[in-house]
Structure 1
Amino acid sequence: MKKIKIFVLVLLILSLTACKQKNEEEISMYNNATVNAGFDTYISISVATTSQEKFDEYFNNLISDFKYLNQLFDIYNNYDGVNNIKTINDNAGIQPVEVDPIIIEMLELSKEYYDISDGQFDITLGPVLKIWHTYREEGLLLLEQGKLGSTPNIEDLIEANKCKGWDKVEINKENSTVYLNESCASLDVGAIAKGYATEYVAEKLEKENIKVGIVDAGGNNRTINTKLDGTPWNVGIQDPTGGSGSIIVVKSEGSKSFVTSGDYQRYYVSEDGKQYHHIIDPRTLFPSNYFHSVTVITEDSGVADVLSTTLYTVDFDTGNKIIEKFKKENPTQELEVIWIMDKDIDVNTEYKKQHSGYLIAYTKDLQDSIVWN
């Protein structure tokens, strides 16, 4: 299942602010975007550089990277000459598959956060997510026709859940192979793939020593350094009603990643009258309903992708325990979180506010960075 992130607005990124220091060429902000780079989304790249030609070179190279990473992480399609996640799944119980080391690196990061989250983030949940994908795609088509969808049988979900587990994943780094040792096993990397790809291309830009940049992959936003004029980035968090406006704005400086997971895209309505979205709780095997959205702000976009999903599927107190565990194991990394929930819900924190018909809670260090629209 491809997890589609909620659109997070980066405001004012296209201002053509120029900067020139002594003995340096003038640099300006250039931008371009495409919907043809994979991951079922638009991808926008902004870079401060010396010319349109130089920017076009950056843009074309990075879009090529996105296309290749999309092929590697795809669970639905085959590509000539590429062994991807689908290839691994298709060979479950049959044989190991030789893959690009990028896949192994991504799988290892997934296992690391499986452990940090006590199993709440689990890419081996593929058999369960496959069932939900079928029902959701059918439900979305019916919704367009004004009709109601249906929900999976719990017995089928429980049976599929027996096929999950990292004990079924064998990684051989020396041979660069991955093997699923049971035929019913399958991987679904939708909750990490886009963020991992965003971080990959952002780090390539950083190695080019660019002064300022933004990579935006359908709401997975990664800033590089601070704006040319020295002012903070203004990152808008979308209103959960699904409109185009932002409910709050976060002021941020330096290189950060912003990723939001929420319930207001890719959902259908079932015959029981309930809405069913795409983010599945691995404990209940049904869509999680604690919050409308969870936004994670941290350095690495892949990590932000993982944690936004993870924290969306657990209650507030459990989420804070995961945050504490992350900070203990990664003491030098910043991690800030924003939860948006129904206004009649209460959570145990002093850092919360009733705003625009919702209760919005946030981690302590954000208290001076949020602009309440």
Structure 2
Amino acid sequence: MKKNICAILVFISIVLNFTSCDSSRNKYYEKSNIVMDTVVTLSAYGENSKEAVEESFKKLDEINEMASTNIDTSDIYKINNSSGESYVQVHPEIMKMIETSIKYSKLSDGAFDITLGPIIDLWGIGTDNERVPSDEEIKAKLPLVGCDKISINEEESSVMLQKKGMALDLGGIAKGFAADEVLKIYKKYNIENGLINLGSSSIYAVGKNKDNNKWSVGIKHPRSEDSKNYLGIIKLSNEALSTSGDYERYFIKDNKRYHHIINPKTGYPADNGVMSDTMVIDNDDEDKNMLADLLTTTVFILGPEKGLNLIKTLPNVSCEITTSDYKIYTSDDFKDRITDLNKEFEFAN
């Protein structure tokens, strides 16, 4: 747990923060807590800033209690425990995440897949049991992977995994979904400025900062231990940002890095030269944070060429992909967004 949280803390650094103000309209409130195994920081400006933040944390706890793989009363735990045997009725929010995951699994030709639970357990990356499993172990579990093996009964709002031993893991989508739910609460309380930071892998910049400028977000250098050493800076306002990297959770054995982003087709950590990628979505879709979250995982696995081809098909979505040769590949409208580019990196296109 400590290793995971420490990695998250240096994942992305927020460069600018709010300061307090006396007027009720600009009343500032900030709170941090550990939710979904992540250090979450929520800040808000407004007359009801405290109410918005406190209600948001209650909502995050509710989502965690439904989506966790470890809480035995959660919907996901029940689905996994009933794999190959029976349907489990689930909350509409869990159903939404599962159906969205199936949609983008098809769209990405299986690059994004929430049925990787058995493979994730084999590797144990980020836990005390991390190891390199044998080829035989991985091959034995791969038949349990595939969103096409998820059965859904929409009339009864229930889900079943078709094979015994299958297991869902919503780690690539749940934080983004949660950020969207927090944003709904912010809008309910008329919060026009603030920051939603779910472990830094999912960030939504609400409005402007205290200087009435866009928020500046520093994207971490993927090979630096210094949390203030950025790859570059991106400015945001009313936009969702998500980053995935092979430095989040990993271990090194025999000089090889094994990270937590698993390729569903091989059962091994994605090995295509990608170190990190960042997604920005600036449309009015209520699911923008969820999409940004799942797309960073998807593009990381697809690699620069296939990843950028996918992004080109999606409206108001832009991204950058950083490779191990310190090249940065960008969608057409992303290059100009990166300022203060680290001199160690260069654009490849």
Cross-structure match for 2:195: 214
Q: Distance in 1 between matches of 2:188 and 2:147?
A: 34
Distance 1:117 1:87 in 2: 27
- Give the Å deviation of 1:15: 2.9
Residues of 2 paired with 1:238 and 1:136: CA distance? 19
- For the pair shown, which has the larger CA radius of gyration, 1 or 2? 1
Q: Could you report, residue by residue, the CA deviation over 1:210-232 in whole angstroms, capped at 9, with x for unpaired residues?
A: 21121101101111223354311
What does 1:159-178 correspond to in 2, within 5 Å? 159-178=140-159
Please say if residues 43 and 194 of structure 2, whose CA atoms lie closer than 8 Å, have aligned partners that are also in contact: yes
The aligned counterpart of 2:276 is: 293
- Contact 2:91-2:157 within 8 A present in 1 as well: yes
- Structure 2: 5+ residue runs without aligned partners? 283-287, 343-349
Aligned-pair CA distance for 1:187: 0.9
Letter in 2 for 1:127: P
Distance 2:162 2:269 in 1: 28
Where does residue 349 of structure 1 map in the other structure?
A: none
SS in 1 for 2:270: coil
Matching of residue 41 in structure 1 with residue 38 in structure 2: yes
Q: Which residue of 2 is the match for residue 27 of structure 1?
A: 26
Q: Is residue 230 of structure 1 aligned with residue 212 of structure 2? A: yes
Q: Give the Cα–Cα distance (whole angstroms) in 2 for the partners of residues 61 and 298 of structure 1.
A: 25
Q: CA deviation at 1:257?
A: 1.2
Tell me the residue number matched to 2:165.
184
Q: Alpha carbon RMSD of aligned pairs, Å? A: 2.3
Tell me what 1:117 maps to. Answer: 108
Task: State whether residues 139 and 269 of structure 1, in contact with CA within 8 Å, keep that contact through their aligned partners in structure 2.
Answer: no
Residues 247-288 of structure 1: per-residue CA shift (max 9 Å, x gap): 2101223x1111111111321122x33121111112222111
Alpha carbons of 1:242 and 1:295: their partners in 2 closer, same or farther (altered >3 Å)? farther
The equivalent residue for 1:266 is 249
Residue 242 of structure 1, aligned match among 216, 220, 225: 225
Shift of 1:138: 4.0
- Distance 1:167-1:363 versus aligned 2 partners, 3 A rule: closer
State the identity as a percent: 30
The counterpart of 1:59, out of the listed 46, 53, 63, is: 53
Query: Partners in 2 of 1:209 and 1:59 — Cα distance?
Result: 12
Paired residue secondary structure (1:368): helix
User: What residue is the counterpart of 1:68 in the other structure?
Assistant: 62
1:257 correspondence with 2:257: no
Residue-by-residue CA offset, 1:26-51 (whole Å, 9 max, x unaligned)? 4243322112xx2111111111112x
1:321 matched residue in structure 2: 309
- Alignment partners' CA distance in 2, 1:265 and 1:368: 26
Greater CA drift, 187-196 or 174-183: 174-183
**How many residues are matched?**
328
Which residue of 2 is the match for residue 348 of structure 1? none
Q: What is residue 355 of structure 1 aligned with on the other side?
A: none
* 2:182 alignment counterpart: 201
TM-score (norm: length of structure 1): 0.81
Match of 1:307 among 281, 284, 295: 295
2:17 paired residue number: 13
Q: Is the 8 A contact 1:122 1:282 kept in 2?
A: yes
Give structure 1 stretches of 5+ with no counterpart: 141-149, 344-357
In 2: Cα distance, 1:368 partner to 1:197 partner: 29
1:352 alignment partner in structure 2: none
Deviations 1:62-107 (A, max 9, x none): 101111111111112224xxx4201110011222111111110111
